[in-house]
Copies of this chain bind each other. A is one copy, B any other.
């Protein structure tokens, strides 16, 4: 493993801490995935790219990361509370589908979009409905500890009782007395002993579609439970990193900590990482505000707030130009600037790959060498400082300046010496592709380019320049296309 002094901001301690995994070189990371009842939007894109970059950088440093990201396909109620309709079931009723068809459809579109954003797939992607026995076992364990109670076939976590031994609110900084006094007695909360309690298991009414048998009758798990069940199953009772969007800090992650402590008498995760939120033209994104943008809408430009399409790599680049703990505002101006920046980076990648060291009888340029080494060190230091991709990108542009000066012939590569030249080249390529996950995005230009070539062909024919005609014909043949030169038109076909 490369010796790096990696620090990350732990929401639990509110400070940057040295990263010391529990069982190096292994790192267990759990990140809250989507509730699959709608298309993926920016609120899914940012955490996916943030923790993908964490995964990539840790892997680059030599850690062996087991990255678990769940699919919530049951139990997430409207309004994120313990009452209301299940989000997936509600969507299924609207679309007249079986709930699992809805879950499948939006799991597929989520995967498609995450692939377009070039995120690595998680090592394990467990589903809530796939872990019902494990969740029931957890409820039984918490009941046995005396930290939950059953009412009418539902089981609730007893937050006040838990708080006698542990500290509920330590992640989010909420104070339990304020939570109690601030809450109103909402409809249907009558079963709970206290408004801060949360459901571990909910009794299902007969018309409820997604339900399972349990010691408390037919029902379904509470939303917070699945993450405790699946993280402990695949990463152990305590693991290294738990990630997610800041909006999940309370109540979701707070409840996960409570459930973990109730069962295992220890915090589930050592480090809690939260990415900050996204705004659109300075406003919070929300369905009711009409500024809610799906990833597909961004990729196609098909949204009233968008002046053009923005490619997946432009979005990825844009998200990386801010530190993950800063808010990030989406606007056409900012996205257009990101598009330029991304293309600069990628043009740089092509140039860098094409550069070869040219031995020559020139002196080493010590000042240039020093600048390069400083930029490389600074890029790594930025990543080591709580994954500061924004700063790392700045240092990459400094490296790119040197690369460009070699490419244009301003500086001979020999002035850097073979070793530094190789380091410059490798660092740039490694950062762009491997660590930041930015890849060349080719658009489909086959047909328009063929048209341009056929136009040149036809002009050459008119000019009786038969060498040119042959050149174009044979050039296309090498690429698998046949020029069809017919009486009244010229066309192309795939060579059969």
A residues in contact (CB < 8 Å) with B: 66, 97-98, 100-101, 104, 108, 111, 121-127, 129-133, 137, 212-213, 234, 340, 343-344, 346-347, 350, 408-409, 442-446, 448-450, 452-453, 455-456, 459, 468, 471-472, 475-476, 478-480, 486-488, 493-496
Contact = CB atoms under 8 A, between A and B. Distances in A.
Q: Which of A443, A480, A488, A494 has the most chain B CB atoms inside 10 A of its CB?
A: A494
Contact of A104 (B124, B129, B137, B468): B124
Given A137-B213, A408-B486, 14 more contacts: A104-B122, A104-B123, A108-B121, A111-B111, A130-B130, A130-B131, A132-B133, A343-B494, A344-B496, A443-B446, A452-B453, A453-B453, A456-B468, A456-B472
A446 B38 CA distance: 35
A347 B125 contact: no
B475 A98 contact: no
B444 A442 contact: yes
Contacts of A495: 343
A213 B214 CA distance: 13
A111 B343 CA distance: 31
Contacts of A494: 343, 346-347
Nearest to A494: B343
Nearest to A97: B123
Nearest to A230: B100
Nearest to A136: B133
Contacts of A455: 471, 475
A443 B480 contact: yes
A42 to B, nearest CB: 24
Contacts of A343: 493-496
A114 to B, nearest CB: 11
Contacts of A452: 453, 472, 475-476, 479
Contact of A101 (B124, B347, B444, B468): B124
Contacts of A123: 97-98, 101, 104
Q: How many copies of the shown chain assemble into the complex?
A: 2
Nearest to A111: B111
A100 to B, nearest CB: 5
B130 A496 contact: no
B456 A446 contact: no
A56 B167 CA distance: 57
B442 A133 contact: no
22 contacts: A100-B124, A100-B234, A101-B124, A104-B124, A104-B125, A127-B130, A129-B130, A130-B130, A130-B131, A133-B212, A343-B494, A347-B494, A350-B493, A442-B444, A443-B446, A443-B480, A445-B446, A445-B449, A446-B446, A455-B475, A456-B468, A456-B472
A267 B452 CA distance: 61
B487 A409 contact: yes
Instruction: Give me the 7 closest cross-chain CB pairs, A-B, nearest first.
Output: A130-B130, A343-B496, A347-B493, A452-B475, A449-B449, A343-B494, A100-B124
Contacts of A468: 456, 459
Contacts of A121: 104, 108
B234 A409 contact: no
A340 B495 CA distance: 8
Contacts of A97: 123
A486 B340 CA distance: 21
Contacts of A449: 445-446, 449-450, 453, 479
